[in-house]
Structure 1
Amino acid sequence: MLTLVLGGAASGKSACAESLVLKTGLPRYYLATMQVWDAECAARVEKHRKMRAQKQFETLECPLHLDRLALPGRGTVLLEDLGNLVANELYSPGGAGKHTAEAVLAGLERLAAGCDDLIVVSNEVFSGGADYAGGTDQYLLALAQVNNAFAARADNVCRVVCGLPVYYKGGEKL
């Protein structure tokens, strides 16, 4: 089953996605996409690893090249989050660059084929109504392409607002 959980910053989308995963059986994989740039990032990653371990998640790091990831086994995967992954692929040396949307979608297809349930967290885009400078438009367009394509394929699409999940497609059936 494929589920997309969208929301704005601090909307509660991550907590919603984790609660969906906890309703499934084991194994549980947390696919972290944040790149660790410094000691502060490393400390944050370690804090989150400990929190997830208590919930019986095995954490896998994948800041780039999702299509190359090999899961240790079948189970439920929580990918946190598409916004980081798209930014990493778009802007990192060795990333997909202008082919970011295609690369991320190919990685999601491969990941979905290797697990029982895939729950993906992403940021809502284009609801701010602002003009953005530089390459931000390129990032927003790439993330919107990925969100839209994954939503079309997903069984469930949920937008979280103020901690409340609103289903646009499917429902909470994990």
Structure 2
Amino acid sequence: MTRHCLVLGGARSGKTAFAERLALRGGSRPAYLATATTLDAEMRDRVSSHQASRGERFTTIEEPTALSDAILRAGADHDVILVDCLTLWITNLLIANEDVSLAVSELCATLMEFRQAKVVLVSNEVGLGIVPDNAMARTFRDLAGSAHQRLAEICDDVYFVAAGLPLTMKGETPGLVS
């Protein structure tokens, strides 16, 4: 049975490294579905650093908005798909004036039917801090929180990562502390 999972955590919490370990243990033909767009030098450096750290272990697929379609296409050639990350995807949708709730519904529907490959979703948990001081940031936080709740409901496994350590919130404990 293919088990989809959601990996949440704060910035620099170790969530992507944990998700990469899950993906590599979950299949022999992994894809890394990147949602980042490189709008400035800092982001280009971050993307380059991520690409260098994962080396040749993953096939990289870049898709900033059409996530469901990209997952379906990747499933033809890959047995595990790591999506990094949902909060950047939500940002991209907001910038493009897309309906985020509709896109999340589409993603949930896709995942519920999709069993060609395991999907590992990575996202920043942004709702643990102070209430943002502006409407746009509050909207983003609310949309991300809603997406996380909806995806956690349909994913088989959900993890929260802090200080590089995974906490199993739902499903199987992976035994991947190191």
TM (norm. structure 1) is 0.86
Is the alpha carbon distance of 1:163 and 1:62 closer, same or farther for their aligned partners in structure 2, counting shifts above 3 Å?
A: same
Structural mapping, 1:23-102, within 5 Å: 23-54=25-56, 56-69=57-70, 70-71=73-74, 72-92=76-96, 95-96=97-98, 99-102=99-102
Is the alpha carbon distance of 1:87 and 1:19 closer, same or farther for their aligned partners in structure 2, counting shifts above 3 Å?
A: same
Give me the CA root mean square deviation: 2.1
d(CA) in 2 for partners of 1:51, 1:163: 16
| Kept in 2: contact 1:67–1:110 (CA 8 A) | yes
| Kept in 2: contact 1:66–1:104 (CA 8 A) | no
Aligned with 1:166: secondary structure?
strand
Displacement of 1:47: 3.5
The code of the aligned residue for 1:104 comes to V
Aligned with 1:11: secondary structure?
coil
Displacement of 1:108: 5.0
Is the alpha carbon distance of 1:173 and 1:40 closer, same or farther for their aligned partners in structure 2, counting shifts above 3 Å?
A: closer
Is the alpha carbon distance of 1:158 and 1:39 closer, same or farther for their aligned partners in structure 2, counting shifts above 3 Å?
A: same
* Identity score, percent: 31
Q: Please say which of residues 110-119 and 132-141 is displaced more in the overlay.
A: 110-119
TM (norm. structure 2) is 0.84
d(CA) in 1 for partners of 2:116, 2:39: 29
Instruction: List runs of 5+ in structure 2 lacking aligned partners.
Output: none
Structural mapping, 1:146-165, within 5 Å: 146-165=147-166
| Kept in 1: contact 2:83–2:121 (CA 8 A) | yes
Displacement of 1:173: 5.0
| Kept in 2: contact 1:4–1:121 (CA 8 A) | yes
Q: Please say which of residues 163-172 and 105-114 is displaced more in the overlay.
A: 105-114
Task: Name 2:107's counterpart in structure 1.
Answer: 107
Aligned with 2:26: secondary structure?
coil
